Structure 1
């Protein structure tokens, strides 16, 4: 199969590795010629260009650009595609993207692989990035079954765990487990940096280990992606942040009141709940 990838960063580049290993002919498009050259040299794609017309003959196209570029790029792309071409995206927000693209392209299937890393760019791409990771598809009732089946087959071939849901359900869910953690993690780093004593701050930086590494990782990720999460999933994220603030205020009150039994009860409850989210 001839498969196009528009956007050759971590997600698109990793996708290219896996698709090529299965014998597909992979066409890549990026805004920078240097990225195209690197993608070909690394073996992520067979051909690459800054010209979107390279994807004209693709049977399936994955849109792997930043969220804010997905709709504009699709509007440009569909002028060069056969009506039978299946188009899917990997954006971490689904409702506005599906609402904008579905009327423009019948064979569009919204998608989101939950397989990111703190690093970005084609150099960070890796093989088997999607193995064992959730991959969500958000087709509409009018989405052709053939288009869904094509994307489903590719996703399964990546070794990902496939899920289906409505775009709005997706955005609410990821506001809790993806977008909220980015903001919380960022706030944690900012709070630590607000220490006024430079010696204490330096000591904290020297002592930081696995606990801080785990809780700060996503806050140290791609700022552009974080802003777009907030911009395109604004209402759901605001709701999650407000609920987080209520829980944080409750913890502050318990500690201020030295109410250790109730604090322990809350920590026991979160200890029991965590395995439901993380294996």
Structure 2
């Protein structure tokens, strides 16, 4: 099975590295049920220089800036920014094999699935929840998806065979595969992925707004693991943060309003010097955190 990857950044490049390795090295009896080993891995990027670099790094066997290369692919990952997914597929459909399977890696699913399913019946919404603060083909790495959630979001009209192919590929990457409706996905990731980006960005902006240069300089010097961990996602790719909010606006706004109300309650307890209430709150959150798959 030839696999195509459109968008050769961190996610696309990392997919390519693992899939080429699986195609070359894995034994048939060691792969998930229904899994077809990758044959050639083909890549497309807007810049030919990125294509050339992806080949040099071993992320793909062949790459080009022309979508016609995807005519050879049996399953294609759309790894572009959210705003480019639909336009890319609209240009791609004329080049596809009749039974080719399309899937994407976007962090918002409802608008993507609603738009692409009518364009190509063999489309399976997907979201590998893995990444780093880096971007671009140079950031690509082996085993990026191992042990991380990989969500597929089929609908009632999604062909089961296409879903099985995408799930088998995700399992071959050693990801933890979950299936849910697109709407449920978007509400969940608003809480655990999109809200943290906004909160983290707000933290950074608040600290940077300190008006005393001496205090700000000291904060820069003293920042350690606590600030590093809570500020990491807010210091990532700005375009990704904007796309999260734009395409998942309703769920993001809901989560921001709830979070703001929670902060007001904490601030109120501190203003009133109600340390018992604050302790109860922190005890509850300590217990609640253990329920997450961290």
What residue in structure 2 maps to residue 141 of structure 1?
156
What residue in structure 2 maps to residue 5 of structure 1?
5
What residue in structure 1 maps to residue 16 of structure 2?
16
What residue in structure 2 maps to residue 191 of structure 1?
206
SS of 1:276 mapped into structure 2: coil
**TM superposition shift of 1:278:** 4.0
TM-score, normalisation: structure 2: 0.94
SS of 1:103 mapped into structure 2: helix
CA distance in 2, matches of 1:268, 1:37: 53
Name segments (4+ residues, structure 1) moved above 3 Å. Answer: none
Return 225-234 or 30-39, whichever deviates more: 30-39
SS of 1:241 mapped into structure 2: helix
Question: Which ranges of structure 2 fall in alignment gaps of 5 or more residues?
Answer: 24-37
**TM superposition shift of 1:116:** 1.5
SS of 2:119 mapped into structure 1: coil
Q: Deviations over 1:213-263 (max 9, x none)?
A: 000000000000000000000000000000000000000100000000000
What residue in structure 1 maps to residue 264 of structure 2?
249
Return 137-146 or 92-101, whichever deviates more: 137-146
What residue in structure 2 maps to residue 78 of structure 1?
93
What residue in structure 1 maps to residue 28 of structure 2?
none
Q: Provide the aligned length of Structure 1 versus Structure 2.
A: 279
What residue in structure 2 maps to residue 276 of structure 1?
291
Pairwise mapping of residues 61-100 of structure 1 onto structure 2 (< 5 A)? 61-100=76-115
**TM superposition shift of 1:97:** 0.3
CA distance in 1, matches of 2:9, 2:235: 17
Pairwise mapping of residues 114-263 of structure 1 onto structure 2 (< 5 A)? 114-263=129-278
**TM superposition shift of 1:33:** 1.2
**TM superposition shift of 1:276:** 1.2
CA distance in 2, matches of 1:26, 1:179: 31
CA distance in 1, matches of 2:115, 2:153: 14
What residue in structure 1 maps to residue 48 of structure 2?
33
**TM superposition shift of 1:71:** 0.7
CA distance in 1, matches of 2:227, 2:276: 26
Is 1:56 the counterpart of 2:64? The answer is: no
What residue in structure 1 maps to residue 59 of structure 2?
44
TM-score, normalisation: structure 1: 0.99
Question: Which ranges of structure 1 fall in alignment gaps of 5 or more residues?
Answer: none
